[in-house]
Structure 1
Amino acid sequence: MKKLTIVFLLISFFAQAQEKVNFTEKFKKENQGKYNIEVNEVKELLQIMIAITKTGLENDDMMQQEGPYYQSVMKQFKAYEKEPIIHTFDSLLIETLINNVFLTGNGISYHFKGNQLVKSDVYIFPAGGVNGVKAVENPITKYKKELEDFAIKSDFRSFYKKHKKYYAEIIAQYEKEANVVKQWKWLEQNFDTRINAYTIYCSPLINGLNYTSEFNNNNFRLIYMSLPPLVTNSYMSSIENELFNTRVMFTEIDHNYVAKPTNEHKIQINEAFKDRNYWVNEAVQGIDAYSTPKYIFDEYMTYAVYLLYCKNHYKEADFNAAYTATDQVMDARGFTKMKEFTDKLLTVSAENEGKKIEYLYADFLAKF
């Protein structure tokens, strides 16, 4: 299968559409201080439709193509790969894989009522822009009739209902093992940013394309994440699995905290990271998604902050394992100076014990 490095992880994903959510007083009251994990029905329909496009079938980085769930998807839905709407989606993905985000990210703007898709009162057009690329129209609105027809023809709703027990198991594992509250608390101890609620949308079909955004409406800030299920690898120890899963989630969450100080120090970052060829390997597919010094810095910073978290919460041997694994992952993604970046941040943090991370930026950037 073709491998593509497509993990964008940019806080700006939905920035252009933040005004197109509607956090009512009722919504705020029901969600304040809480986190929610969901395998959303409409998003799962879109994930399945993308999975049977030619692009989805060829891309085992974007789509999780192992395990019984994927086999069940192929058994029921691959027969519909020639449908015109699947061809349309494939054309969109060929144009840019960012369209995966526009399609799945806007899935929450509708819900099923019988065989009809009904607009959400909360999420109107949640995924409107990615790294400077804008969606002119909510694609779920544009392809509403085709989505409804595909769901009926393929008997999608029965498939979703049949797998609800499995979805519940995914959610239960997150609630038991993900340490969301622990990460949330630590980040708010180390940054001034305050978030009112977290929502994690999960799909068994997600592999390498994870994304996050923050919605800010009616004095309520919500972090939105699209993530794969937690991983339990038999060849890894329990602590290794925990570190792996923590990295996947933490490096999504902390984009929303790193963004503010990064923007405040944009001038210094642009100067320190202007030599693009030094900081990234242009030969790695997907690195062009990080098109500016700020985006490059922000990606390094999110992973370095994860390692600071590990240093605060794990034994030295476990931290060292996380440090090595993170350096290897980032290098493979084209971020070749992770060790240099992290070592500088660890040094500055040790020199300023007790100081919030966002107030380390000036001293930290002075080292480059």
Structure 2
Amino acid sequence: MNIFYPTVNIKEKYQDKIVVEVPEVYELMQIASSLTGTFKNDPNLIKSSSSYYQDFRNHFQEFENHDLVLKLNKAFEENPYGNNQHAIRMLSLGLDIDNQNSLIDNGFININPATKYFLSTSVFFPSLNTNLIEDFAKKSNFKDFYKEHKGYYSKLINNYNELCDFKGMQTWLEKKFTSKYQSYRIIFSPLTGGFHSTTSFPNSDRSMDQTFMFVSAPRENIANLSPKEFETASSLSSRIVFTEIDHNYVNPVTDQFLNELDEAMDDYKNWNGQNGGSYPSKYSTFNEYMTWGVFNLYALDTYSEENMDTIIQYPTDFITENRKFIRFREFNQELIRLYESKDKPKIEELYEPIFEWMRKEYETSN
């Protein structure tokens, strides 16, 4: 048991539930981060095509040189997708903000003090920067902005729940994997671009696990979609969340096949054309292949046959061409073939045959 591994206190409102939310301090930190030059210059970090973005710019742009924003930008400069980003997303959930703009530890997350001590010079801990955050919130009238947009947040939350069958996802994943999680928290900001992440933590006595998906907002207008358009929109929003959720199921299975993975993927750069990027290893590259592949298996079992080609083609094209996972089309085709030929088994039963195919594919193409 790693004493440096954080634990969480799962509140009743989250236990055995799937909750979609825009937490207040989380949104405060996303707003401050979105004012940094690093975020403004990266469309993967910030979504600038919404009316909410314009409201954000109009309200907060004069605070671009606030000390909090400058400190965040310095933290992001080396790697905006690294530990600072993950720490800010996760640890902001442990703070509430009162009407006097004072931050309050809500007791959600337990971190060994030694972890903060050793990482405080290299990682941005919100709880160690409360004065800066409170000053930014007060001077920018953040509370007023958040309150004015609560109806907008609620609309997007409702849209997520309409577009995505979260309970169906959980049921399917627990049927296809042995992992179980007692709580899903799906957390988004309307400002978030395409950079999504996920993690999970046990509760204090390690009897339950809570998983967190940090994602972008769903489609804003869905009321007038035809049934076919709605199903396609549903698949697009579902893919965003699903490929984060299922990392919490896929990664533990991959951990059981590390030797097989090492043999099957001789060089991850033959599968990953990102030229570095966020997946600089066999393990991270394969898990991304598998999480997107598993979504397509879920899609096969979930959506109508009429729309199936379109629903599977879009994520397949996106991860192959945009994300540069250059062999995903062939990988996905083989994964689907194996899944159907084996009468749709648990996913772990597909690992050895997909590794065998990968070895042959590598030998054939070289």
TM-score by length of 2: 0.87
| Counterpart-to-counterpart distance in 2, 1:312 and 1:178 | 15
Q: Which runs of 5+ in 1 are unaligned?
A: 1-14
Corresponding residue of 1:222: 210
The Cα shift of 1:297 comes to 0.5
Query: Are the structure 2 counterparts of residues 138 and 277 from structure 1 closer, same or farther at C-alpha, using a change threshold of 3 Å?
Result: closer
Amino acid at match of 1:250: F
Q: Which residue of 1 aligns with 2:72?
A: 89
Which residue in 2 is equivalent to 1:296? 285
Q: CA deviation at 1:101?
A: 2.3
What is the distance in 2 between the residues matched to 1:256 and 1:349? Answer: 20
| Pair 237,257 (structure 1): closer, same or farther in 2 beyond 3 Å | same
Which of 79, 104, 109 is 2:94 aligned to?
109
In 1, Cα distance between equivalents of 2:265 and 2:13: 43
Q: Please, which moves more after superposition, 161-170 or 354-363? A: 354-363
Given the superposition, is the C-alpha separation of residues 198 and 80 from structure 1 closer, same or farther in structure 2, using an over 3 Å criterion? same
Counterpart residue type for residue 190 of structure 1 = K
- Aligned ranges 1:328-343 → 2 under 5 Å: 328-331=317-320, 332-343=322-333
Which residue of 330, 346, 351 corresponds with 2:341? Answer: 351
Change (3 A) 1:17 1:30: farther
Q: Percent identity?
A: 26
Comparing 332-341 with 311-320, which one deviates more in the overlay? Answer: 311-320
Question: What letter is aligned with 2:240?
Answer: V
1:327 matched to 2:310: no
CA distance in 2, matches of 1:81, 1:20: 32
**What is the CA–CA distance in structure 2 between the aligned matches of 1:251 and 1:125, rounded to whole Å?**
27
Aligned residues: 343
Distance in 2, matches of 1:54 and 1:364, equals 43
Give distance in 1, aligned partners of 2:22 and 2:351. Answer: 37
1:118 corresponds to 2:96: no
1:280-334 per-position Cα deviation (integer Å, ceiling 9, x unaligned): 1144xxx532121111110000000000111112233422112221221112111
Q: Which residue of 2 aligns with 1:6?
A: none
Q: What does residue 364 of structure 2 align with? A: none
Q: What are the within-5 Å matches in structure 2 for residues 168-179 of structure 1?
A: 168-179=154-165
Q: Displacement of 1:350 after TM fit?
A: 1.9
Q: CA deviation at 1:357?
A: 1.1
> Residues of 2 paired with 1:350 and 1:300: CA distance?
18
Question: What is the DSSP-based 3-state SS (H/G/I as helix, E as strand, rest coil) of the residue aligned with 1:288?
Answer: coil
CA distance in 1, matches of 2:313, 2:2: 36
- Partners of 2:94 and 2:136 lie apart in 1 by 18
Matches within 5 A, 1:167-246: 167-217=153-203, 218=205, 219-231=207-219, 237-246=229-238
Counterparts in 2 of 1:240-279, with a 5 A limit?
Answer: 240-279=232-271
2:42 equivalent to 1:59: yes
Tell me what 2:53 maps to.
70
Q: Distance in 1 between matches of 2:85 and 2:2?
A: 17
* Greater RCO structure (CA 8 Å; 6+ sep): 1
**1:281 counterpart = 2:273:** yes
Measured at CA, do residues 253 and 124 of structure 1 come closer, stay the same or move farther in structure 2, by a change above 3 Å? same
Match for residue 312 of structure 1 among 301, 310, 315: 301
RMSD: 2.4
User: Would the aligned equivalents of 1:279 and 1:337 in 2 still touch at CA under 8 Å?
Assistant: yes
Gap regions ≥5 residues in structure 2: 359-366
Residues in 1 aligned to 2:13 and 2:217: alpha-carbon distance in whole angstroms: 25
